[in-house]
Amino acid sequence: MFYKNEVPYIINHIPLSSRRPGLSRQPKTLTVHSTGNPRSTAQNERAWLVNPRNIRVASWHVAVDEKEAVEAIPLNEVAWHAGDGRQGEGNAYSIAVEICESGDRAKTLDNAARVIAALLREQGLTMADVVQHFNWNKKNCPRILRAGKLWNEFLAAAGSYYEGEAQGALEAAVALLVKEEVVRSPDYWLENAKPGKLVRGEFAAVLIISTANRLRGGE
């Protein structure tokens, strides 16, 4: 079982079809949707994509519910979710995350925030790259997050997971370098090696030289 920020993450791609044209691209943004169905789970949404009764071409990459996330289309492929045309920036270059409207809403939103933070990191994207479906074609979507402060609260939650992931990765890396005797002042790096902070050139030089020496297998 895979996890993204502790949320079970199931990869179950649909076959190539009108909904999954198999067009490769590098994602530039991540689009948040909600399913518009108060009863369906992520697995229900995945099943609908291959249900013969479904005559719509619409598709998405990842659906998240109160329990888990399901990836139906690889993130580096086009999905039809933005309603902005075949060449539209939304369809062509955005990752579609569908938030389910069923079940425990708070748990679902927390799961979605966790998964989105992890996907952004993996794709080299930032919180500034997260948009609503509304952004592409003025559809009222994600309808469960567009009222009042809900959208900003959701972004704040995702942002805190996004930063937490970065800090966790830094802590793990610094711990390894301490063990390997490359870094001797871990507190300095944990405090200063992050966005918005500065590290001293002479310390960076020591780190680079120690790392090179370690790679050479020397002192």
The residues of the shown chain that bind Zn ion, judged by CB under 5 A, are 33, 133, 141
Q: Name which of 20 and 133 has its Cβ closer to Zn ion.
A: 133
- Minimum CB separation from Zn ion for residue 141, in Å? 3
Q: How far is Cα 56 from Cα 33, in angstroms, rounded to an integer?
A: 17
Q: How far is Cα 74 from Cα 14, in angstroms, rounded to an integer?
A: 9
Q: Name which of 7 and 63 has its Cβ closer to Zn ion.
A: 63
- Minimum CB separation from Zn ion for residue 144, in Å? 11
Q: Name which of 109 and 183 has its Cβ closer to Zn ion.
A: 109
- Minimum CB separation from Zn ion for residue 90, in Å? 10
Q: Name which of 100 and 141 has its Cβ closer to Zn ion.
A: 141
Q: Name which of 49 and 174 has its Cβ closer to Zn ion.
A: 49
- Minimum CB separation from Zn ion for residue 143, in Å? 8
Structure tokens given for 68: 């888990």
- Minimum CB separation from Zn ion for residue 31, in Å? 7
